[in-house]
Amino acid sequence: MIVVDDGADEITAEIVNALWRQGLPLTLEAQHQRGAARARNCGARAASGELLLFCDDDILVEPSHLRLHSAARERHGDAVVNGTWEFAPAVIAALQTTTFGRYRIELERHFAQDAGGRPLDGHPGCLRMPLLGSWDLALRRDLFWELGGFDEAFPVAGAEDQDFSLRARAAGCLLLLDTGIRCLHNDNRLSLRSYCAREERSAQTMPFLARKYPKEFGEAAYVRENRPISRVDPPRLVTKKLLKWVLASGPVLESLHRLTDLLEAAHLPARPLRRFYATLLGLHLFRGFRRTWA
């Protein structure tokens, strides 16, 4: 087991050292905020086993996790495999207490429905996927390096797993979601502000994806609506971009957050509040995208 610390404190090292003294075979690799792609590659370089299993720091797994991944490999051969995740019970309980939390739960359901998997013939509970996430990702170590590992040009966690999935798919790999492998997401981004901050940071990786795969993403709606104004933009889109530019400025955006706080405190009905949530989330995505587009 290899722990890669991309943080800026000593807590991870203290925990790993304490567990190592108790007899757990842990190896610690450290880097200082160099990004998720480089962190995962660092762990893969330190690995000596035939298979790699990447697991994010907010993912909880069952005691049978490694066995289930091994069984998936025995059934499907040299596949790239994801398990499924759902919010941890404590996270669900906390999210259900707020209007934003309930909005967040529904948002994740929509994301899962839009993922686009197709049932794998003869294998109930398994889906052939166009893209996989890196939060619980298993594959052969040699294959990982044949595919080039994660692209370290992606500055933070975001679209680097989409890029890896596209390269794996182009190489003919089976991208598999096994619903029998269950994980819990111990997400601590329970407020609107913390969730928007995470999404703004992730959005910084989308320009890298759009430029690397111009045919697939260069004209995607997300890219078209957030990149700078161009001559081919229709007037309505130009107006929308100008409005985003104004509203996404620091003072205005902070005022919108405070207004949302007041509306929540006044118990505004859920439907109009959700419009505010969607607007604020869109503005943060715009800010993150524009930060690295240039």
Share of the chain above pLDDT 70, in %: 100
Backbone angles phi, psi at 118, to 5 degrees: -120, 135
Cβ contact 159:131 at 8 Å: no
Tens of pLDDT, residue by residue over 37-64, are 999 999 999 999 999 999 999 999 999 9
Higher pLDDT among residues 65 and 216, named by residue: 65
CA distances from 282 to 108, 119, 190, 239 (A): 16, 32, 18, 15
pLDDT at residue 67, as a whole number: 95
Is the per-residue pLDDT at 33 higher than 90?
no
pLDDT for 218 equals 84
Class of the 50-190 domain? alpha beta
User: For 136-181, how does the pLDDT look when each residue is reduced to its tens digit (9 = 90+)?
Assistant: 999 999 999 999 999 999 989 999 999 999 999 999 999 999 999 9
- Structure confidence at residue 116 (pLDDT): 81
Tokens representing 152 are: 């370290």
- Distance separating the N- and C-terminal Cα atoms of the chain: 39
- Domain ranges for the chain: 50-190, 192-294
Q: Which residue has the tokens 């003072």?
A: 251
Q: Please, what is the angle between helix 270-293 and helix 250-265, to 10°?
A: 160
Q: Name the E strands within the chain.
A: 2-5, 27-30, 51-55, 59-61, 80-87, 118-119, 126-128, 136-140, 175-185
